[in-house]
Structure 1
């Protein structure tokens, strides 16, 4: 005899008939936990203007330059008089050489002035583009695009990009769209080259650190590569800094690094390296090479954000984690197997 089994009469599922009311969250009630290898890029930090010298510094440099000029002029006058007193033809030769020397100094001063002016122009363009994006100002956007076309007019590598931007710009009547077009057309190829320069410099630093016998050699090479990388990135974006312009650029890069956390590696990078078992695979010198390479990467990223004439709006900003595969890959030339 089978045991009786109780079965429900109503087979309808009440849970399926009862619909759940949708729930929504207000924006101020939602928090996003963002973890990265470094703090998220801050537009206010990336668009910091290059600080100029104060009135006290300008006064010191001006008065010092005048005194040095007076001293050199008296020395040159005495030299020319002595040459004429010895031989007349030798005096005329001295006059010609002095004139050529003065002409060279004037040309060098003009080149330095143009280099400093170009840095100010790029910085001013970045601030104007930021305002045009914030206010959707078509007139400011057209001004920025026109200046960019003039700056890159003699660049054969950007000829096709300039033509493409010109063809599309005439059909746009929105300030934001015009700035975005200039960034996609003109800045995107330069960003790729700047990242390639940074990655190559970081690999050289890592390699030299791994094989160098002294720590002093590591420090000197890191400084050399950082200076070389900053100058190459500045020339890539159209700055072409001279002697004084390069020192101003160096100060701006150091100020940017100080604001964004300097050269200190964050916990995320250390955890990533340790998590991949890199310490067990590599020697201590190779580990130091990776760390020094990451420091060079930070310098390159700071140089890009300081010199780039447009703010990052449509293109992603370079971050340290983008260059980790270049430094942690043991076989960079080995082709990947097909999936």
Structure 2
């Protein structure tokens, strides 16, 4: 039986009690004073603390400076010694040193260009993420135009750039602009990147399955992953140099750690072990399949890092889409059994 409703009076005289901070207690109910509204302009977010130079950075900088000075002194002494013995040899050494210095400057300029391009892509992706969260139409238009400028020198994006520039005046929302930009420019690049990932995964799976030594497996997987990273970076933002490739590899590893993809993952376990492949295959062939899928996982992480826009309308590619055919022959085996 339910209890009948009853009324509780909160205004009994003599039962009010001030309990502190302006709060008034009436019986079992405490009435708090209304606070003043907080102005949003007064909320100051503390900036993130900038990471200073570590001892490792100082060590590398000091060692690099010392080696540069030592190399300069050695070159100067060598040229001076050759000049004193034979002026022709001295001038020849001077020309060789000048050519080497010019080549070094060009290499450093290319490395700087690659790093600036990678940072531009990173900044563009961060701005696009913020614009999707609630950006203005001007921000979306600026990002789309910057994306057009990024792929201005590519003939294969000419049709997509023309379609995007034609559609921009008719769009009035940042998300719509980025959606059209993704559909016009990035979807064909995504397909090319996925094709490269699938090719690298199949190659690694085949080679590591038939190679006789584990050292050959490790060396081939490292080379294949480096080539895959450079290929994906070339599809989205230009081929990086050696230092740019190392920086990209570090970003990919950070992405894998943050997303939990450094392990094989549920997809790999389901496709290799959970579906009974381990009982049907030799250990070597099973290792080849796993290595191929892990290579595909690294390729997907590189795609997410190198892509200048986050996925807006398009769906991120899955491991099964780029490496599912590594175990597709299992169906034919089951049919024959």
TM-score, length-normalised on structure 1?
Answer: 0.77
CA contact (8 A) 2:272 2:289 kept: no
What is residue 44 of structure 2 aligned with on the other side? Answer: none
CA contact (8 A) 2:161 2:184 kept: yes
Matches of 2:51 and 2:315, distance apart in 1: 32
Matches of 1:256 and 1:188, distance apart in 2: 22
Unaligned segments of structure 1, at least 5 residues: 1-51, 333-339
What is residue 141 of structure 2 aligned with on the other side? Answer: 142
Quote how far apart the aligned CAs of 1:267 are: 4.0
Q: What secondary structure sits across from 2:170 in the alignment?
A: coil
Quote how far apart the aligned CAs of 1:234 are: 0.8
Unaligned segments of structure 2, at least 5 residues: 1-49, 332-337
The 1:218/1:83 distance shift into structure 2, 3 A limit, reads: same
Matches of 1:201 and 1:64, distance apart in 2: 38
The 1:156/1:268 distance shift into structure 2, 3 A limit, reads: closer
Deviates more, 1:146-155 or 1:185-194: 146-155
Query: CA deviation digits over 1:251-298, x for unaligned, max 9?
Result: 111111111223322345423445654345543322221111110011
The 1:53/1:247 distance shift into structure 2, 3 A limit, reads: farther
Matches of 1:89 and 1:273, distance apart in 2: 68
What is residue 173 of structure 1 aligned with on the other side? Answer: 172
Matches of 1:324 and 1:92, distance apart in 2: 58
CA contact (8 A) 1:203 1:327 kept: yes
What is residue 84 of structure 1 aligned with on the other side? Answer: 83
Matches of 2:326 and 2:199, distance apart in 1: 10
What is residue 330 of structure 1 aligned with on the other side? Answer: 329
Answering whether residue 117 of structure 2 is matched by residue 118 of structure 1, we say yes
CA RMSD of aligned residues (A): 2.2
Matches of 1:79 and 1:275, distance apart in 2: 66
Matches of 2:184 and 2:155, distance apart in 1: 14
Q: What secondary structure sits across from 2:237 in the alignment?
A: coil
CA contact (8 A) 2:268 2:293 kept: no
Answering whether residue 66 of structure 2 is matched by residue 67 of structure 1, we say yes
After TM superposition, list the pairs within 5 Å mapping 1:1-339 onto structure 2.
54-56=52-54, 58-274=57-273, 276-279=275-278, 281-330=280-329
Query: CA deviation digits over 1:284-337, x for unaligned, max 9?
Result: 3222211111100110011011111100111111222223432112399xxxxx
What is residue 18 of structure 1 aligned with on the other side? Answer: none
The 1:140/1:90 distance shift into structure 2, 3 A limit, reads: same
What is residue 31 of structure 1 aligned with on the other side? Answer: none
Matches of 1:106 and 1:266, distance apart in 2: 44
Q: What secondary structure sits across from 1:170 in the alignment?
A: helix
CA contact (8 A) 1:239 1:307 kept: no
Identify which of structures 1 and 2 has the higher relative contact order when contacts are C-alpha pairs closer than 8 Å and 6+ apart.
Answer: 1
